[in-house]
Structure 1
Amino acid sequence: MTEHQASRFERGTDGPKVILAGVDGSESSMRAAAYAAGLARRQHALLALVYVQPVMTAGAALGVPVAETTDEIAQDIAADISSSAERLKDIYDVRWEFHTFRGDPYTGLVSAADELTADAVVVGASEQAGHRFVGSVAVRLVKAGRWPVTVVP
């Protein structure tokens, strides 16, 4: 085996090493995080929780403090997750990290999955009615065909 082959990242050989869950504070995303935590615990994988901060150029152009608002949302989500992890630490042992990325949800999750070398992606089902017709982030991730994607209702 050459040095290049030994250091090359390979998906799916010995079970997942990193399970990524997209979180945005919605009920379905928090259920997805809980489901992903169970998968990570059983597989002894790292749980990477990712919040994608939207970039709202229109709001920023009008002087609305968009970055501060999305930073607060990220901090609230991280605090909720930390609180839950602290309550369950004696029952479940899950290694986890919280990451934020900027952009639209699909592009942010793709970037996160690539950067964190995710083996699987877990997201909550969209709670927006229009996504049934236009397509949701979950559907776009599945169509990308780059990772196993689990959509939690």
Structure 2
Amino acid sequence: MTDQQHERQQFERGTDGPKVIVVGLDGSESSMRAAAYASGLARRQNALLAIVYVQPVLSAGAAMGAPVSDTTAQIAEGLVAEIRDAVERMKGIFNVRWEFHTFRGDPYNGLVTAADELKADAVVVGASESAGHRIVGSVAVRLVKAGRWPVTVVP
């Protein structure tokens, strides 16, 4: 057997698997479960957990003059505070490398942009809690149909 053949057949522990796991977080119960699941994956794989909050660009409130960007920025700050609290409570027991990112847009396009820019190996999202998504299609279903990354949908 040549050296090159031997190199190909040798298993490399710790080099397979995802390096960046993107999880969508919007504060809903299902997104919080998705974040917990994704953090476990990231810990076991020694991957970076990229937590993504997608700020809506325009809503009915914005059209009527409400300060939507201030509200969504406050939501993002609240989510980061919750994450930091959880990380602090688990320090030394459950260590995960993580980053928090905010993107603007609708949830689907925001997560696609995030996954592309962060070079995601996997995407984790919570199942939709909206009945209307049965007709239009949920973000999770659209991500799966895009077929660009492995997508895990957490109920």
Using the size of structure 2 for normalisation, the TM-score is 0.88
Which residues in structure 2 correspond to 1:132-143 (within 5 Å)?
A: 132-143=134-145
* DSSP 3-state at the match of 1:55: coil
Offset at 1:56?
Answer: 1.6
From 74, 79, 83, the counterpart of 1:72: 74
Deviation string 1:114-134 (CA, Å, 9 cap, x unpaired) is 000000000000000111222
Separation in structure 2 between the aligned mates of residue 130 and residue 65 of structure 1, nearest angstrom: 26
Alignment match, 1:9 = none
Deviation string 1:60-106 (CA, Å, 9 cap, x unpaired) is 23211000000000000111111111101121110000000000000
In the alignment, structure 1 segments of 5+ residues that lack a partner are 1-12
* DSSP 3-state at the match of 1:24: coil
> What is the root-mean-square deviation in Å for CA atoms of aligned residues?
1.1
Offset at 1:57?
Answer: 4.9
Displaced runs of 4+ in structure 1, greater than 4 A? none
2:82 partner letter: D
Question: What is the aligned length?
Answer: 141
Structure showing greater radius of gyration is 2
What fraction of aligned residue pairs are identical, expressed as a percent?
77
From 96, 117, 121, the counterpart of 2:119: 117
Separation in structure 2 between the aligned mates of residue 132 and residue 38 of structure 1, nearest angstrom: 29
1:79 partner letter: A
Alignment match, 2:39 = 37
In the alignment, structure 2 segments of 5+ residues that lack a partner are 1-14
From 95, 98, 103, the counterpart of 2:97: 95
- CA gap of 1:129–1:61, structure 2 versus 1, over 3 A, is closer
